[in-house]
Amino acid sequence: MTTWYDEAFRPGSEIQGKWNGRVYVVERLLGAGSNGIVALVRRGAARFALKAGHETVDHQSEINSLHAISLTETSFKNFLIDADDMTVNGKEISFYVMRYIEGISISDFIHKRGQDWIYVIGSNLLRKLTEVHKSGYVFGDLKIENMIVSKYGDVDLIDFGGVTPKGRAIKQLTEVYDRGFWNMGERVAEESYDLFSFAILLLKSLDQRKRFNGFSNILPQNRDMDQLTTIMRENPVASHIAPFLHKVLNSEFSTSQEAYQYWRKLVSGKKNAQSILKMPWLKICFAASIFIFGATVYIYW
């Protein structure tokens, strides 16, 4: 089956913005989600991710959220690079260009590197959420597909289609990650809304028996926390973080900052020590270099 973007997004194709005039050369497709199609592109020596939207209204609202968050003094600063329209077969399609994030999904990462990595990745993801929340927004559609894990467990959020100012109704969601689906709270943009999805995201990535696959078909009256508790009991890593997960699933933390502090305490100690042991040599070298630098300064002072 051919799609509207086959031609425009073929490797080597040029995409020219109608208004800003910048030209991007397609390297390859990165993914196609429900709201758009994303390609890795080049402009000169720089690489970016370019997303073209199917639905103009949704796409524009996504650009607006991304634009707002790109202006904040956070790690999202300058995430949005360009926004423009292109013409494909006589039809105008809007697109935007953002930072390209190299990495893999959290599920693939822990599958390759081990489930203990959840402690490090979880901390990094919570810190990202804290940044979004401190800027006055809620991420909204937090799920495995909307984040990328890179080397050393660093985390980046992608897909800002669900970003909503605090207090408003959640505008985009994915059923099993939504607390409304589980009858566990309202679809309102609160920090606790993202934290609920965060807990589901962790459980889903740890769920080796693929229990989640059956969850979307459960009747509303049968959706309850017992199904999630079963996964926590089956999996050693999930059971280690179960006290945190229970609190989050019951919307007990009102801020992600509070949740982050609780998380840090819970994962420090035995398990954290393990993750430090697994710290890649580069990070250890970096720590050692700082120590040597400090010692040199001390000796020569």
Ligand X SMILES: Nc1ncnc2c1ncn2[C@@H]1O[C@H](COP(=O)(O)OP(=O)(O)O)[C@@H](O)[C@H]1O
Q: Which does 51 bind (CB under 5 to 8 A by kind): Mg ion, ligand X, none?
A: ligand X
By CB under 6 A, is residue 25 in contact with ligand X?
no
Residue 48, both tokens: 């970016």
By CB under 6 A, is residue 128 in contact with ligand X?
no
By CB under 6 A, is residue 36 in contact with ligand X?
yes
By CB under 5 A, is residue 33 in contact with Mg ion?
yes
Distance in Å, CB of 241 to ligand X, minimum: 25
Distance in Å, CB of 160 to Mg ion, minimum: 10
Q: Which of 33, 82, 154, 272 binds ligand X (CB under 6 A)?
A: 33
Q: Which stretch binds ligand X (CB under 6 A): 35-43, 115-123, 220-228, 251-259?
A: 35-43
Coil vs helix vs strand at 255: coil
Is 85 marked active-site?
Answer: no
Q: What count of other Cβ atoms lies within 10 Å of the Cβ of residue 198?
A: 24
Considering CB under 5 A, how many residues would be counted as binding Mg ion?
A: 4
By CB under 5 A, is residue 159 in contact with Mg ion?
yes
Q: What angle do CA 283, 286, 290 make, to 5 degrees?
A: 145
Phi, psi of 163 (to 5 degrees): -60, 125
The pairing of strands 91-99 and 46-53 is antiparallel
By CB under 6 A, is residue 34 in contact with ligand X?
yes
Handedness of CA 82, 93, 173, 30 (dihedral sign): negative
Q: Which stretch binds ligand X (CB under 6 A): 96-104, 185-193, 255-263, 273-281?
A: 96-104
Residue with nearest beta carbon to ligand X: 33
Q: Which of 8, 38, 232, 249 binds ligand X (CB under 6 A)?
A: 38
Please tell me which residue in 82, 84, 85, 141 is annotated as part of the active site: 141
Q: Which stretch binds ligand X (CB under 6 A): 63-71, 92-100, 261-269, 270-278?
A: 92-100
First-to-last CA distance in the chain?
70
What gap in Å lies between CA 267 and CA 221, rounded to an integer?
Answer: 34
* Residue pointed to by tokens 């002072």: 301
By CB under 6 A, is residue 146 in contact with ligand X?
yes
Q: Which of 84, 116, 131, 159 binds ligand X (CB under 6 A)?
A: 159
User: Nearest CA to 137 among 43, 226, 67?
Assistant: 67
User: Nearest CA to 128 among 137, 237, 91?
Assistant: 137
By CB under 6 A, is residue 80 in contact with ligand X?
no
Q: Which does 36 bind (CB under 5 to 8 A by kind): ligand X, Mg ion, none?
A: ligand X
Coil vs helix vs strand at 117: helix
User: What letter would DSSP give residue 147?
Assistant: E
- Assign 3-state DSSP to the chain and report helix, strand, coil percentages, each to 5: 50, 20, 30
What is the greatest pairwise CA distance in the chain? Answer: 71
Q: Which does 52 bind (CB under 5 to 8 A by kind): ligand X, Mg ion, none?
A: none
Q: Which stretch binds ligand X (CB under 6 A): 154-162, 174-182, 197-205, 286-294?
A: 154-162
By CB under 5 A, is residue 31 in contact with Mg ion?
no
By CB under 6 A, is residue 201 in contact with ligand X?
no
User: What letter would DSSP give residue 170?
Assistant: P
User: Nearest CA to 243 among 267, 227, 224, 207?
Assistant: 267
What gap in Å lies between CA 255 and CA 130, rounded to an integer?
Answer: 8
Note the residues at the interface with ligand X (CB under 6 A).
30-31, 33-36, 38, 49, 51, 98-101, 145-146, 158-159, 161
Active-site amino acid positions: 141
Binding site for Mg ion (CB under 5 A): 33, 145-146, 159
